[in-house]
Amino acid sequence: MGRKKVIVKKLVQLILAAALVVAGGIAIQPTEAVAAPAGCAAGDACFYKNIAFSGTKGRMAQCINKFSDYGMNDTTSSLYNAGRYDTLYVYQESNGRGGVETWPKGTGSIALWFTWNDTISSAYFGSFLGYKGKSKCN
Ligand SMILES: [Ca+2]
């Protein structure tokens, strides 16, 4: 193989690798190890109407079947899991239905991406996943 062909092959490999990184970034909502926002108490998960943990805040201690019960359906643009033990599970529809995304304790997102911005309708700490749709989460 000539030197030119080797260089072209390497370039193609680099471009393909970059494309894969971009595709992965779009497909997966990144969990960011961000500092806990002020006012999000230990043990809670906090949901904010605006990015960067600002705007109207909702807090969750265990689980919420319907964000609409709190006037927050499809409004969350940033969130933080200040839970002590559990991973936070959020869903695109009420009662734990639809697409799901998770944030381990101590992580959050300062700006939810694409399909996750303004779409969250229910949320559960891992220990309460068994109560999806039940009154305990109302
Ligand atoms: Ca929704």
pLDDT higher at 97 or 34: 97
pTM over 0.75: yes
> Could you give the CA distance from residue 120 to residue 54 in angstroms, rounded to a whole number?
16
Q: How confident is the model at residue 4 (pLDDT cuts 50, 70, 90)?
A: low
List the domain range (segments joined by +) for residue 11. Answer: 1-30
pLDDT higher at 9 or 137: 137
| Residues 24, 56 within the same domain | no
How many whole angstroms from 70 Cα to the centroid of ligand 1?
13
Is residue 5 scored above 80 in pLDDT? Answer: no
Instruction: Write the single-letter amino acid at 42.
Output: A
Instruction: Write the single-letter amino acid at 14.
Output: L
> Span 42-67, mean pLDDT?
97
Per residue in 67-77, pLDDT tens?
999 999 999 99
How many whole angstroms from 76 Cα to the centroid of ligand 1?
10
| b/e map 96-118, b = 16+ CB within 10 Å | beeeebebebebbbbebeeebbe
Tell me which residues have their CB within 5 A of the ion that is ligand 1: 74, 92, 119, 121
How many whole angstroms from 100 Cα to the centroid of ligand 1?
11
| Residues 26, 74 within the same domain | no
> Could you give the CA distance from residue 135 to residue 138 in angstroms, rounded to a whole number?
5
Structural domain total, the chain: 2
Q: How confident is the model at residue 24 (pLDDT cuts 50, 70, 90)?
A: very low
> Span 126-132, mean pLDDT?
98
User: Residue 22 domain-assigned?
Assistant: yes
